[in-house]
Each structure stands twice: as structure tokens, then as C-alpha cells.
Amino acid sequence: MNTSASAGPGPSPVYDRIGVGYRRVRQPDPRLAALIREGLGGARTVVNVGAGTGSYEPADAEVVAVDPSRVMLDQHPGARKVRASASALPFADGAFDAAMAVLTVHHWPDPLRGLAELRRVARRRLLFTWDPDHRPELWVVGEYVPEIRAMERARFAPLSEMAEAMGAHTVVPFPIPHDFTDGFQTAYWRRPEMFLDPAVRAASSTFAQLPGSVVGPAVARLRADLESGEWHRRHAELLTRDAVDYGYRLLIAGE
């Protein structure tokens, strides 16, 4: 399988529009990488569904990267790449030792069907995702961009539904370290100035999909609060912490 392989993923996915330059901001974090590697249990053949640029793929396994976005696959360094939807994986039953999906299920058109596909093609399944019912909520949502809340709750299925769909037997919490290197939205919970950077916001699917009429004023308010010191006064306790559990979970299923 190579870069030209395609299984007809359907309409152009969101990352065909917002994925340019993604790899520069979204650098895999070694702590999450170690957790995922342990969860894969030494699998020799792995399919990475919603692979994006290939973060967290095990270096010692034969990996097939699957993504519906040509823009993302073009940034993926691997040799085995297939353009396809999670809802219709072009592989035989039990084709892989393991399947992995990292921060992607909320972009799938039919998440529960996609998880059933993982279950069909692999004996072991790993899903790194977010629990929409978890609290606390990231401050940037509650204080600056509440529009993100409705967007996230609309696209993330409850954790219990995802666990059932993939047959998960283990759920591992992953508190986000303050110096987390993978620049998704919650990575900057203790580095508020990063949200002022357009490149950082462009690598976050929520910010990237919101209109400028929403994001512009929110960023201006944050900038003013940072310059005045109000943000730091409001979050003095948060600044003393090394990690916070914002609801990210690794689900493990199968053998």
C-alpha cells in the first residue's frame, strides 16, 4: 500500500482545509507515546485510523496509515498509506494485530460505526479520546470562547458509548502535563499566551472552524487580560500545577 492507495473516502474532510502546517505544531509527546506503545502490547502489524501525520505510531511495527484527507497523508512520513474513511476500512476481518485511533474519532462521520470497524479488522484496539462529560472545563472555553462547548459536545459521543462500541476492557486517564508538546487545544492550559499565535489556533480544529467574528474578539480579550495580569491573578492556583486531568482517556480493547 502506498501514497496513491485510495478507497473513496467521500466528501473532502475538514483537514483538507485546515491541515496545512499541522505537523509543525502537533509534535508527539513522549509521555503519551509511551502510554500508547504499552497499550499496543508489542503488536507487529498496526492500522492507524485517522492517522494524520503519523504521531504516536510505533517505530517497531508494520503500520498502515488510514486517513480521508490527502493534505494530512501528504505530511505523513510512512510508506504504507491508504486514503479511506473510518466507517469503511478496506481490509479483511482480523487483518491486523492492533488498530489505533488518536484524537480523531470526533471527526468521523459515524463514530460508532468506525469503532465497530476497528473491532472488525484488529484483535486489539486503542482509542485516545476525550470524555465530554468530564469536569473541569478548560478555561479558554468557559471564559473566552464558549462557542467551543457546543461544538465539542456535538461531535464527541459519551465515553461509555465509545467504550461499548469498541469492546473496551480498560480505561486509562491521561492528565495533560503543563509542557505537553502535542499542541491540541488543551495542551496550553498553563501557557495562555500560545492561544495568541494564529499558527497554534490553526492546528486546533475548534478554533480553525470558528468564524473570525468569534475568534478575533476572544483573542483580543485574552491578550488584554494577559497584559493587565488579570489572567494570572484569576488562575494563580492553576499555575502551581504540573498536570491537570481534563478528561482525556486511553481506551483499550481486545487481546
Q: What is the reported pLDDT for 208?
A: 85
- The set of cell numbers assigned to 15 is 483537514
Strand partners of residue 7? none
More confident position, 91 or 73: 91
Long-range contacts of 239-242 (CB under 8 A, 24+ apart): 239/190, 241/178, 241/190, 242/177, 242/178
Mean pLDDT of the chain: 91
Q: What is the reported pLDDT for 226?
A: 98
CATH number for 5-254: choose from 3.40.50.1820, 3.40.640.10, 3.40.50.150, 3.40.50.1000: 3.40.50.150
Spatial contact of 102 and 128, defined as CB atoms under 8 Å apart = yes
**Runs of H (alpha helix) within the chain:** 15-18, 22-25, 30-40, 70-74, 111-121, 139-143, 147-155, 159-166, 198-202, 205-209, 212-228, 230-234
Distance from C-alpha of 59 to C-alpha of 182, rounded to nearest angstrom: 18
- The set of cell numbers assigned to 167 is 469492546
Model-wide pTM > 0.75 = yes
pLDDT digits (tens, 9 = 90+) for 156-203: 999 999 999 999 999 999 999 999 999 899 999 999 999 999 989 988
> What is the helix (H) or strand (E) element at residue 62, kind and residue range?
strand 62-67
